[in-house]
Amino acid sequence: MKELIDKIERGEQALSFTALSRFMKSPAEFVRYKTEEYQRTPAMIEGSAAHALVLEPEKYPAQYYSGKIKPDDERQRLTDTQFKNAQAMAKNVLNHHKYKNIRQTARRVETHETIELDGYKIRRVLDIDAFDAVYDVKTMGAADITPKKFKWKIYDFKYHVQAAIYVAQYPTITENIQHIDFLPEFYWIAVTKNDCVIMRCSKELIVAGFHRLQQAFHDWQRCIAADAWKMGSEFYLSPDELIIQP
């Protein structure tokens, strides 16, 4: 683990949003994510298939199949339910009244790139990169989605931090905050098998995401100094917070 941390500190290894979000849960959660075998859940497989159908349909047949199990097929197999749900979610996005214009303004889709923020290399994948906006497709397990429901997801899963990473244009967090009005707009395309809602992330929420990311970098250094990689969520709690009052 020390070798990985050293590579990250030297800029030889990039951090992803997923890795950062795990660290924001606890140092131990980050270690588990980096050292244990990664297995996608059925919902994640379903969502990835929907992503492919929406963003890169030409690549879908080479990545997924449904129906009878084919032992020698290296593609990801979808169950009948996963296949139907992925098709339904893709249809809801493609038929949304705003999506056609969004896709027409896109200059890139599924773009993998590495940026630098406050001395750290960060990997990001932009679903839709338009000239003045970035769009991120979020597949949701719920039957329906509303802005009010999605707001809870934002804070639970640190989506505002991800938004900040995705629109960043400058090498420091401070510069990005200072030039917030010059950064691209950010939109979530939240989709379920029954609905699709496109929502804009406010500049204020993006600034909050940058501040939370800045705190994560501070906590990262604190974790290194204390060699606290085995600690759970108590790493983020003060001694007073660990006392249960009547």
Angle of helix 27-35 relative to helix 17-25, nearest 10 degrees? 140
Cα–Cα nearest to 183, from 196, 200, 166: 166
pTM tops 0.95, yes or no: no
**Strand 185-191 vs strand 64-66: parallel, antiparallel, or unpaired?**
unpaired
Candidate CATH numbers 1.10.3720.10, 3.90.320.10, 3.40.50.720, 3.30.420.40; the one for domain 2-39+96-228? 3.90.320.10
Does residue 149 register a pLDDT over 90?
A: no
Does residue 143 register a pLDDT over 70?
A: no
pLDDT tens-place string over residues 154-199 = 999 999 999 999 999 999 999 999 999 999 999 999 999 999 999 9
Distance (Å, whole) CA 46 – CA 52: 10
pLDDT tens-place string over residues 21-53 = 999 999 999 999 999 887 888 899 999 999 999
Q: What is the mean pLDDT of the chain?
A: 93
Cα–Cα nearest to 160, from 38, 24, 27: 24
Domain spans of the chain, in order of start: 2-39+96-228, 41-95
